[in-house]
Amino acid sequence: MANANRDATSFGVYIHWPFCLSKCPYCDFNSHVRHAAIDETRFVRAFATEIATTAARAPGRTVSSIFFGGGTPSLMQPETVGAILDTVAKHWTLAPNTEITLEANPTSVETTRFRGYRAAGVNRVSLGVQSLDDAVLATLGRTHTAQEALDAVAVARGIFERYSFDLIYARPGQTPLAWRAELEAAIAQAAEHLSLYQLTIEADTPFATLRALGKLKIPDDDTARELYDMTQDICAAAGLPAYEVSNHARPGAECRHNLLYWRYGEYAGIGPGAHGRLIAGGKRHAIATEKRPESWLMRVEASGHGIVSDETLLSSEQADEFLLMGLRLAEGIDLERFTRLAGRPLDIARIETLAGYGFVETTPEGRLRVTRSGFPVLDAVVADLAA
Ligand SMILES: C[S@@+](CC[C@H](N)C(=O)[O-])C[C@H]1O[C@@H](n2cnc3c(N)ncnc32)[C@H](O)[C@@H]1O
Ligand code: SF4
């Protein structure tokens, strides 16, 4: 039973870079705008310290994926990325084919750093294209045009083995006809992976204020559903089926780092506002670090880490997290693993009721997965099963 949920072959490292040049009005990620230059040397030292402290707690792991997320990691100097990767390799073993992803904003300035990232070891980029319509990009507060974004995709294609890009749909005023054209144009530029997010109005963002004032209207439920269904059909027909609620890939080209989260693997979270799930002493820990960059720096410099919360998860909490993450995946969850984590099986009567509505199905291999009609009501399905 010890380390029942530790997949010995997978260990991920998430690195958070918390700065952006400007704040997009829909975004509630831990990102901060600073007008003075960022002292990257000081951050490199602090990242090295926090990596060393984390590795002392979780020694001997083989790293299968590293993900630089943000904020805007493509604002980092390539030397900063290289130094962080060297530190990860010093404290853990890197698997021969470690997936190393960096999130990039598709501006022309950031594109000039791509070769440097490749030389530092990055082998996959994920570009925040968001839309292929300049007027929409302006309302989303983006600082790049559609052409600049497409140019960045072309540069990425020439430099990295793998790339993906993000689009946001179900935007204000978006018609199914317009989305079809935009998605088809995007697929023509895509390789093996696309992330397609429905616009979420996050609390305490400028978009939430505009919506409350009646100045921003997002598509109603029926239109959102039509846009979602269309997205699934078009992507599947193009060989990019959804492997997760918002993520599409050619089979085999899924983002291994994100799969690790959804399969409830083990990962370290390094940097301001990063989350980790580490297994230590046979227990799974949910760890979170200080969000404010300067406070995180000071904490790390004073005590070797920026952790502000470290909770040992009860088996029922682990089982709920496993359910919540795993049901996002088209492959669903292994019911046996749920039983091992929870110490009890999932309620068969609830599964049968949900299956009766056509929202979930079980497979002969003992998996439970959400169906095409279940995904639009995923939150309710998870809440029902977890209750
Ligand atoms: C960490 S963010 C962005 C990375 C990068 N800074 C950028 O903006 O290009 C990852 C992705 O989440 C998506 N996203 C962020 N906020 C969202 C929201 N409120 N609704 C839907 N998608 C969102 C965007 O597509 C974004 O590219
Ligand atoms: S969407 Fe990206 S660029 Fe915009 S504020 Fe969020 S993290 Fe920064």
pLDDT single digits (tens) 347-369: 999 999 999 999 999 999 999 99
| Position in ligand 2 atom list of the atom nearest CA 20 | 8
Q: What is the pLDDT of residues 377-386, one digit of tens each?
A: 999 999 999 9
Using CA atoms, how far apart are residues 159 and 129, in angstroms rounded to an integer?
A: 18
Q: Which ligand sits nearest to residue 21's alpha carbon?
A: 2
pLDDT at 8: 54
Ligand 2 mutation pick, 16, 22, 23, max ligand atoms within 8 A of CB? 23
Q: Whose CA is nearest to atom 6 of ligand 2?
A: 27
Read off the pLDDT of residues 10-54 as tens digits, 9 standing for 90 and up: 999 999 999 999 999 999 999 999 999 999 999 999 999 999 999
Rounded Cα distance between 284 and 311, Å, is 8
Predicted local distance difference test score (pLDDT) of residue 2: 35
Check whether 129 has a pLDDT greater than 50. yes
Residue-wise pLDDT for 90-125, tens only, equals 999 999 999 999 999 999 889 999 999 999 999 999
pLDDT over threshold 90, residue 4: no
Look at residue 207 and tell me whether its pLDDT is greater than 70: yes
Does ligand 2 have an atom closer than 6 angstroms to the CB of 191? Answer: no
- pLDDT, tens digit, for every residue of 236-262? 999 999 999 999 999 999 999 999 999
- Map the chain to HEC letters: CCCCCCCCCCEEEEEEECECCCCCCCCCCCCECCCCCCCHHHHHHHHHHHHHHHHHHCCCCEEEEEEEEECCHHHCCHHHHHHHHHHHHHHCEEEEEEEEEEEECCCHHHHCCHHHHHHHCCCEEEEEEECCCHHHHHHCCCCCCHHHHHHHHHHHHHHCCEEEEEEEECCCCCCHHHHHHHHHHHHHHCCCEEEEEECCCCCCCHHHHHHHCCCCCCCCHHHHHHHHHHHHHHHHHCCCCEEECCEEECCCCCCHHHHHHHCCCEEEEECCCCEEEEEECCEEEEEEECCCHHHHHHHHHHHCCCEEEEEECCHHHHHHHHHHHHCCECCCEEHHHHHHHHCCCCCHHHHHHHHHCCCEEECCCCEEEECCCCHHHHHHHHHHHHC
User: What atom in ligand 2 is closest to the CA of residue 141?
Assistant: 4
- For residues 279 and 268, is the Cβ–Cβ distance under 8 A? no
From the CB of 152, is ligand 1 less than 6 Å away? no
**Ligand 1 contact via 130 beta carbon (within 6 Å):** yes
Report the share of the chain in percent with pLDDT over 70.
Answer: 98
Q: Is 29 in the pocket of ligand 1 (CB under 6 A)?
A: yes
pLDDT > 50? residue 69: yes
* pLDDT the model gives residue 101: 98
pLDDT band per the 50, 70, 90 thresholds, residue 387: confident
Q: What is the pLDDT of residue 30?
A: 98
Residue nearest to atom 7 of ligand 2 (CA): 71
pLDDT confidence band for 3 (50 / 70 / 90): very low
| In the chain, % of residues over pLDDT 90 | 96
Please, what is the average pLDDT of the chain? 96
In this predicted structure, the answer to whether residue 7 has a pLDDT above a threshold of 70 is no
Ligand 1 geometric centre to CA of 87 (Å): 28
Token look-up 């979930």 returns 360
Indicate which atom in ligand 1 lies nearest the CA of residue 72: 6
Q: How far is the CA of 58 from the centre of ligand 2 (A)?
A: 31
Strand partners, 329: 244
The pLDDT of residue 5 is above 60? no
pLDDT in tens, 298-350: 999 999 999 999 999 999 999 999 999 999 999 999 999 999 999 999 999 99
Task: State which ligand 2 atom lies nearest to the alpha carbon of 128.
Answer: 2
- pLDDT tens for each residue of 282-302: 899 999 999 999 999 999 999
**74 ligand 2 Cβ < 6 A:** no
